[in-house]
Chain A
Amino acid sequence: MTTKPIRGLERYYEYRERWKAIISDMEKSPVPNPALLALFRLFLENDEKTIDCAENNKPFLSSWYGNAPEIYAAMGIHYICVVDNLLAHQSFTDDLAGIDANIVPDDMCGLIKLGAYAVEKGLVPTPTGMIAMLEPCDAQSVLHESWINNDAWKDVPYFALDPAYRSGKEDFEYFVGELRRMIAFLENLTGIKLDWNRLREVIEETNKQYEIWDEYNQLRRAVPCPGGSFQGSGIGWAISQHIMAGHPGATDLFRMLLADEESRYKANKGWLEKENSRVLWADLIGTVNAPIGEWLEKEHGTVVVQDFQGYTPYSHIDTSTEESMLLGLAKRNLAEVPMIRQARGNVDVFIEDVIRIVEDYKIDCVFFPGHVGHKDQSASVGFLREACRELGVPLLVLTMDIFDPRYLPMDKFTHIVNEFFETHKLGKFK
């Protein structure tokens, strides 16, 4: 008797095998990169959990960053973000070609197109429940809406967290109310009761993680920068948002990142032998960033010292009471998680962050990728120009899709940057 394959798991088996092969190869290497090895092990563990849940009817959620995953973690409910594996495995799949054939308008964010495609094509298992994210962009909300309109997901119970727009006391309190309603939904859905002591433990672990991440960031202020372009951002984001919140393995990984950077910092060594220029990438990093970072370093002796994904001024959450924990989570998820931080609400945070980063990290120029999905940021370009003018730093405004390298091909990108650097005597022209 053959059993019917579970929708979406085929892809996950593929991911699992790929992680295993990569890990095994790395383990055999004479100089394995311990941080990467730890990261891939966390990814593998996460995918194995997803497979286990889907195969054995254990509850698991579809969620997105900024939805207070600390709460699901405290309840022991596993969760996935539909797009994380698609991004991590992008170079091994033909998903980008797949999104072209989809009927979703091509003027949307690549991440959204991938998310729609994944559910449509059954590349993710159908979750037990969904926590929808309605911020920071319009596209997020309608992507989640499209999922509940999909035949495979139409019966998935869902809860949507309504974000407040402002960041005042009342707004956070309103979001606390939303978190409480989410907890009630989850308890009802899974029959699991939230253990507030466990939540305290999870939050305390994440507090530790964000403190280390912050220390790591502080070191990047040094000239020359002791870490590589986009280094902590990619890893930090993945392990703080896509791995079960408060995972001690993630804390260890943050420590490794810090130790590695600290060793160079203490020896007064930069990531590059000669650092010509320091860049702020004023947006998230996507799948285009690794080759961009490498090229900037090699060709121009330039390090992307900070970006919005790595710039994470998380505040410590007071775990003394239920209320203080929820309030802390409301603040963290509404006003600190990257991208939500800069895109939700009015333009001030975006501009203040640019100003602060430029000053604190001794930035020589700002790259604004003009990500096609970030309609709010594109409409903030006037504010950004003015801020950069006042700061006296050159600004490069691009238009790209940070999740689709085809939008602005690398040769065009390098050409634009070369011209920009030559004009402003930066990079190798310094």
Chain B
Amino acid sequence: MNAQFKSTILQDFRKTAANPVNVSLQEWKKSGRKIIGCMYHYIPEEIITAAGMLPYRMKAVGSKGTELSESCFTQINCGFVRHLFDSGVRGELGFIDGLVSVNNCDHIRRFYENWQKKIKTPYMHFMPFPKKSGREQAEVYRKELADFKNSLEKHFNVQITDTKLKKAIELHNETRRLQRELYELRKKKNPPITGADVHAVMVASSSMPKEKYNTMLTGLLEELYTGEGISDYSERIMVVGGELDDPKFIEVIESQGCLVVADSLGYGYRAIAEDVDTDIEPLTALAEYHVLKRPACPRIFGTTFNRNDFVRHIAEEFKVDGVISVRLPLCDEWSFEQVNLIGYLKKHGIPHLTLDIDYILSSTGQIKTRSQAFLETISGTKHGR
């Protein structure tokens, strides 16, 4: 079902998403500039950009195992964290000059400490992130951001002025705007790009300099506007989940004949639905963006209702026939999300399938079988069978 492209932009995005390291990173590094690893999406990457460094969302795509993480973690720890730690110990992420993390989940907060002890990246910074969303929490997080900014300045001997911050925010907003444009195309009856490819484009943004990314994405959009749409698909599907960084799981779902046209994923629509305010003081804008504005993940208490509505709203806007929600085993944060979503989507008559998938997809049989059965059910309902 792949659409044809003249340029190699999409291929480049795919390659970037499929590997921890990519050409742009290497070039960046070669030019003597720094790379800061970010643990998850609550890190205000704009501050890093404003410091003249590259924010890199930590990933372990292509990891071969977890053996080297076993002295620090056990089988009840999430696969993402174990693979990532293993990659770290192997030196595969040795290109990062710093690591910044929030206490995103119980696995990640200890991941940070284990990393600090064993891997010892030269610069490390930890920021507690509130567990609920409110004005007081945004204020507390703003203080954390100020500390983070100061520590970056001190460690790397750089100056992060408000002007630089504003510029960085505008740059990242531009990325989000372009990505939303990409998503708009998926609303078409015959979207010009598969769900797996969109995911690759989204994931790639987290490991490239934003200027280069924006140029490439602009190029890709131009091609997509004139390109042919995909028509040989059965159902329109939406995927919901956390920080899944491997487009392969969408590819597997789409291999069953459907097209993934929308999502609520950490690297997906939740990351681009809103922009950071440019009219207020930058650190306040960033804190408010993360605590109050952007669609939250289940990490933030009391947000299910909005998130469920968000899912339904997107499902309607992108005219999806069904929703597949995915969770990594042992992830408590996404556990009840599935349960809550089951009830909510049932109430609204939206077909729904829940899947537990491994961080590194070694076997895909189960996903295929279950997706196929799900698609058949939807198709049966659609055709009154």
Contacts and interface: CB of A to CB of B under 8 A. Distances in A.
A376 B109 contact: yes
B115 to A, nearest CB: 11
B103 A378 contact: no
A382 B333 CA distance: 24
B137 A139 contact: no
A379 B77 contact: yes
Interface stretch (A76-84, A100-108, A196-204): A100-108
Contacts of A142: 298, 332-333, 335-337
Interface of A: 103-105, 107-109, 112, 116, 132, 134-135, 137-139, 141-146, 148-149, 158, 160, 162-166, 174, 177-178, 181, 343, 346-347, 370, 372-376, 378-383, 385, 397, 399
A163 B344 CA distance: 29
Given A138-B106, A160-B302, A347 B113 contact: yes
A372 B77 CA distance: 9
A220 B301 CA distance: 40
B219 interface: no
Interface in B116-155: 117-118, 128, 130-132, 134, 136-137, 140
Contact of B335 (A104, A164, A166): A104
The 7 closest A-B pairs by CB, nearest first: A165-B128, A379-B110, A382-B72, A376-B106, A138-B332, A375-B106, A134-B131
B86 to A, nearest CB: 13
A386 to B, nearest CB: 9
B75 to A, nearest CB: 7
Contact of A378 (B73, B302, B333): B73
B76 interface: yes
B76 A370 contact: yes
Contact of A379 (B106, B130, B140, B335): B106
A162 B77 contact: no
A347 B72 CA distance: 12
11 contacts: A104-B336, A138-B106, A142-B332, A145-B336, A146-B339, A165-B103, A343-B106, A379-B114, A382-B118, A383-B114, A385-B71
A376 B110 contact: yes
A143 B335 CA distance: 9
B228 to A, nearest CB: 42
B356 A141 contact: no
Interface in B29-44: none
Contacts of A372: 76
A387 B208 CA distance: 40
Contacts of A375: 76-78, 105-107, 110, 330, 332
Given A162-B132, A375-B78, A107 B330 contact: yes
A138 to B, nearest CB: 4
Contacts of B106: 137-138, 343, 374-376, 379
A149 B340 contact: yes
Interface residues of B, number: 49
Given A160-B132, A177-B136, A346-B113, A146 B76 contact: no
Contact of A139 (B81, B301, B335): B335
Contact of B329 (A107, A135, A162): A107
Interface of B: 71-78, 81, 103, 105-107, 109-111, 113-114, 117-118, 128, 130-132, 134, 136-137, 140, 298-299, 301-302, 304-305, 327, 329-330, 332-333, 335-340, 342-344, 356
Given A103-B339, A370-B74, A399-B75, A108 B109 contact: no
A160 B76 CA distance: 27
A138 B337 CA distance: 12
A149 B332 contact: no
Contacts of A343: 106
B359 to A, nearest CB: 14
A141 B344 CA distance: 19
Contacts of B140: 174
Contacts of A139: 332, 335
Given A141-B131, A142-B298, A379-B111, 9 more contacts: A145-B340, A146-B336, A162-B130, A162-B134, A376-B106, A376-B109, A376-B110, A378-B74, A379-B106
Nearest to B81: A379
A145 B298 contact: yes
A163 B140 CA distance: 12
B335 A105 contact: yes
Contacts of A370: 74, 76
Nearest to B341: A149
B41 to A, nearest CB: 16
A108 B338 CA distance: 13
A134 B132 contact: yes
Contacts of B337: 142
A132 B109 CA distance: 22
A197 B329 CA distance: 49
Contacts of B75: 399
Nearest to A379: B110
